[in-house]
A = this chain, B = another copy of it.
Amino acid sequence: MTLASLDNEPSSRDRILDVAESLFARRGYAGVGMKEVADGASLGKSSVFHHFKSKAELYSAACVRILGAFEDRLLRSLAEGGTPSVRLERCIGDLIDVLVAHPTHARLLLRSLFEDDDLPQDGPEGAAVYGSIQNIMGPMAKLLREGMSAGEFRLASVSHVLLLLIGPIVFPFASGDFGEQLLGKDVFDPAQVRRIKGELLDLVRVGLSAPNNAREE
């Protein structure tokens, strides 16, 4: 906590993380130079190394920050209660809201999930990434299990369904130019977000519902 944090101006550390997140999201770990990060934060390269002792640590810190944002939102969302289907739909909607509020998140999140080699899995920062992912996936799995026990969701392998749900939630908002060309409009345009969210929730609602449940109640 510094003096600046009491004010509105973000600290140098936060400015570095902002720039790093945006650059890493676009070009991946190896595609970004520390000089570029420093320039973006209006600092010298050495100042960046003062805050993060290596590039790997900076990358992990950027990942940890966005994973933390997801974790917070997810836990708050789950705490609001409701039936499993209600909570699942609210969770997915809320997670998408986080992705949309920070357009750079989806790409870096996707990278942190499938670029094993980039992350220095050892060290405290690497462990934080791993822990945060666990804290997100755990409650989601629990929610699916509850819904199946309650007879709201059809019986299915929780882990396989979970693995299947990540793609449609994250990829659209990481798809960049491809998504824009497919839709003919910016993926982050509010109207497009609403339609993507709507289609996904429709798909999940009926796709996961138990066969004996009425289709429309």
Assess A28 versus B115: contact at CB under 8 Å? Given A168-B165, A207-B202.
yes
Taking a contact as CB atoms under 8 Å apart, the answer to whether B177 and A163 are in contact is: no
When distances are taken between beta carbons in the complex, the residues of chain B under 8 Å from A117 are 26-27, 31
The A contact surface, by secondary structure, is helix
Shortest beta-carbon distance, A80 to chain B, in Å? 25
Q: How many residues on chain A are close to B (CB under 8 Å)?
A: 59
Contact B167 A172 (CB under 8 A): yes
Whether the pair B200, A211 counts as a contact (CB closer than 8 A) is no
Residues of B within 8 Å of A167, CB to CB, are: 166-172
Residues of B within 8 A of A184 (CB): 159
Q: CA separation between A115 and B154, bound complex, in Å?
A: 36
Complex: A171 Cα to B183 Cα, angstroms = 20
* Cα separation A165 to B165 with both chains bound (whole Å): 10
Instruction: Determine how many copies of this chain the complex contains.
Output: 2
Q: A176 interface residue, CB < 8 Å from B?
A: yes
Interface stretch of the complex, out of A65-73, A82-90, A106-114: A106-114
A204 at the B interface (CB under 8 A): yes
Near B by CB (< 8 A), chain A positions 169-217 give 169-172, 174-179, 182-184, 187, 192, 195-196, 199-200, 202-204, 206-209, 211, 215-216
Highest count of chain B CB atoms <10 Å: which of A32, A206, A208: A206
Q: A156 to B30: give the CA distance in the assembly, Å.
A: 40
Q: Can you sample 12 A-B contacts with CB below 8 Å?
A: A26-B115, A110-B110, A159-B182, A160-B196, A160-B199, A163-B175, A163-B187, A164-B203, A166-B167, A171-B171, A202-B207, A206-B207
Known pairs A110-B171, A157-B195, A164-B196 / 14 extra A-B pairs, C-beta < 8 Å: A28-B29, A28-B115, A107-B114, A114-B174, A114-B178, A116-B176, A161-B199, A163-B171, A163-B172, A163-B179, A166-B167, A167-B172, A203-B203, A203-B207
